[in-house]
Amino acid sequence: MTGKMNKRLIRVIIAFILFVICLILDFNNLYKNIIYLIAYVIAGYDVVFKALRNIIRGKVFDENFLMTIATIGAFAIGEFPEAVAVMLFYQVGELFQSYAVDKSRKSVANLMDIRPDYANVYRKGIVQKINPSEVNIGETILIKPGEKIPLDGTVINGESRLNTLALTGETLPRKVGPGDEVLSGCINSDGTLKVKVIKEFKESTVSKILDLVENASSRKSKSENFISKFAKYYTPIVVVIAIILAIIPPLITGEEFSKWLYRALSFLVVSCPCALVISVPLSFFGGIGAASKIGVLVKGSNYLEALANTETIVCDKTGTLTEGVFKVQKIEGVNYNNDELLKYTAYAENYSNHPIAKVVREAYGKVIDEKLITDTKEISGKGVIAKVDRKNVLVGNEKLMQENNIEYQKSKEVGTVIYTAINNKFAGTITIKDKIKEDAYKAMILFKNNNVKKIVMLTGDREVISEEVANKLKIDEYHAELLPQDKVELVQKLISQKTKEGKVVFVGDGINDAPVLALADIGVAMGGLGSDAAIEVADVVIMTDEPSKIASAINISKRTMNIVKQNIVFAITVKIGVLVLSGLGLATMWAAVFADVGVSVLAILNALRVLKVKSS
């Protein structure tokens, strides 16, 4: 509990003890009433002060005003116990609210722990501890075991494991070594690292995430805006009805004024819109917190609300559904075994700077004896010819085989196919392609489970490769060989085809996806590996490269909206029922107190359930 909550709790306990003493012990009414007043002041002085302050500022109609008028009115007609009870139980409701908000904030506060306090920088031959915002690009920082990484950079010395839980929601540590990029906000688990800074603090991952989290509450959902408008008009209407209830009936019926004033005061107590004003924003805040726990940053409750109505999901292919890293996927030796084929191909490609050559060498993974390689010749657009261990080796595409009259077997594999011939005889093929993420298969199933009507894939890649990915993932629709402007046009078309309440979500990670991310109803950036531009314009950021977390975010959104609707319906139904009973004189102020506080507490507890939502 916070210090403010502790003080309120102590006040409530003291006021409650005094209240019980007055109820149980039988002594002079004057002394009783004095003790009631003391209990009232202890429990509710802050509420009365806020009401007076708001009246001076022109903000008359709020819950503080309603509680103050109702309790002072109760004192005026001699209902001292009821006056104290109203304020006492109202403060109990406020305690529950403070606890709930504190619990919700902790889920986001855990993310805020990623803020680095300092950076160890090498300057003038020594390590200096300075503020991360004062470190320049290109400087070298030292990160000791247990320290937070203060700025984005590249490891130049040392090996370690990084705890990325607060940043990505992932429990398994990530191994890093020389050449690997590290993100600010991660915790260095064991080894000591020397890192070259590649971004200033204000442009670093940790700074951008903190900015997203801190500003998330500024973008309100339709439901929150509705409740704000509802309370704005509802409260003054209720006050007017209470005044009419206190004055008109006794004038018509001739009954005692105090009897109808009591009914009007009960009416005011139960009319307090606390349950709605508290629980709806709390539900959204809890939903944003639950999402942040699994590494999904939602930039506002309006986007969390919109995710619940996801109708179409449009995905980029490379880096979103596939790993975005080309690797050797298949080796098929002919007259040579697979290991021999890979060896001769890697040796022939040894001096080539082509990306495909690099992939082959990485797949071979052994030291290449350059003494065995002679007469290397690279033929643009076709491949490489070389002598390897005194054997003529041709490595390239079909054109190279055809020009050298090599009888080869055409590969049926989808991807980039390398054909190799040794001493003018076909030796086999090596297929290189981007691998579909294992998580992408899971994501497609979860999208359907969340009632997404259509899944579309957009890519600039070749038709044959795109078709294979779409078929394997069972994607409803795909479009290949697209330019960035083609993606924009297609997303515009999908937006025009959606239903009134339906939303089009676009998921991408590249800089060329930024225009489409901005155009879609909800833009989702794969932030862990994505570009700064994509993260900047996106509405939701996934801190890992797992598309299934989008389904988790949709699930959290739907759960949040269900809880919001439950609270609205429950609160309004109970309020109207007790308001009618109070107006008819069938509900006492005690019933009004329990109805108001009870509804608020139940709505708050219901709102807290969203924090228990786990990843799909």
User: 433 near 465, Cβ under 8 Å?
Assistant: yes
Q: What's the average model confidence in pLDDT over 316-345?
A: 88
**pLDDT over 50 (residue 426):** yes
Q: What's the average model confidence in pLDDT over 215-244?
A: 69
**pLDDT over 90 (residue 312):** yes
Domains of the chain, first to last: 119-207 (2.70.150.10), 324-435 (3.40.1110.10)
Q: What are the tens digits of pLDDT across the range 462-492?
A: 788 889 899 999 999 999 888 777 888 999 9
Q: What's the average model confidence in pLDDT over 138-143?
A: 92
CA-based radius of gyration for the chain: 34
For the record, the structure tokens of 551 come out as 């389904």
Of residues 392 and 592, more confidence is placed in 392
Farthest-apart Cα atoms in the chain, separation: 120
Whether residue 509 lies in the annotated active site: no
pLDDT in the model for residue 233: 75
pLDDT in the model for residue 269: 73
Q: Residue holding tokens 């959902």? A: 221
* pTM of full prediction above 0.75: no
Residue 531: band (very low, low, confident or very high) from pLDDT cuts 50, 70, 90: low
Q: What's the average model confidence in pLDDT over 353-361?
A: 84
pLDDT in the model for residue 352: 84
Of residues 419 and 50, more confidence is placed in 419
Catalytic residue among 316, 434, 521, 596: 316
Lowest mean pLDDT among 293-307, 373-387, 515-529, 563-577: 515-529
Dihedral, 2, 7, 12, 15 alpha carbons, nearest 10: 170
Lowest mean pLDDT among 193-202, 492-501, 527-536: 527-536
Q: What's the average model confidence in pLDDT over 141-149?
A: 90
3-state per-residue secondary structure call for 249-290 = HHHHHCCCHHHHHHHHHHHHHHHCCHHHHHHHHHHHHHHHHH
Residue 503: band (very low, low, confident or very high) from pLDDT cuts 50, 70, 90: very high
pLDDT in the model for residue 529: 45
Q: Which three-class secondary structure state does DSSP give residue 296?
A: strand
Q: What's the average model confidence in pLDDT over 277-304?
A: 81
pLDDT in the model for residue 220: 57
Count of alpha carbons within 13 angstroms of residue 221, beta-carbon side: 26
Of residues 533 and 548, more confidence is placed in 548
Cα(77)–Cα(168) distance, integer angstroms: 60
Q: What's the average model confidence in pLDDT over 158-178?
A: 75
Instruction: Name the residue type at position 124.
Output: K
**pLDDT over 60 (residue 169):** no
pLDDT in the model for residue 345: 94
Q: What's the average model confidence in pLDDT over 264-283?
A: 74
Q: Is 195 exposed, middle or buried (0-12, 13-18, 19+ CB in 10 A)?
A: buried
Q: Residue holding tokens 């890192």? A: 195
Residue 505: band (very low, low, confident or very high) from pLDDT cuts 50, 70, 90: very high
User: 67 near 87, Cβ under 8 Å?
Assistant: yes
Lowest mean pLDDT among 163-177, 204-218, 493-507, 529-543: 204-218
Nearest partner of 41 among 73, 19, 63, judged by Cα: 19
Q: What are the tens digits of pLDDT across the range 550-564?
A: 999 999 999 999 988
pLDDT in the model for residue 51: 84
Task: Show Cβ contacts of residue 545 under 8 Å, excluding neighbours closer than 6 positions.
Answer: 319, 323, 437, 439, 509, 526, 528, 529
Strands of 249-303, DSSP E? 296-298
Q: How many CB atoms lie within 10 A of CB 409?
A: 12
Lowest mean pLDDT among 116-125, 463-472, 473-482, 576-585: 576-585
227's enclosing H/E stretch is helix 222-253
pLDDT in the model for residue 120: 92
Q: What is the mean pLDDT of the chain?
A: 82
Q: What are the tens digits of pLDDT across the range 29-46?
A: 788 889 999 999 998 888
**pLDDT over 80 (residue 227):** no
Q: What's the average model confidence in pLDDT over 510-532?
A: 73
Q: Residue holding tokens 């206190």? A: 246
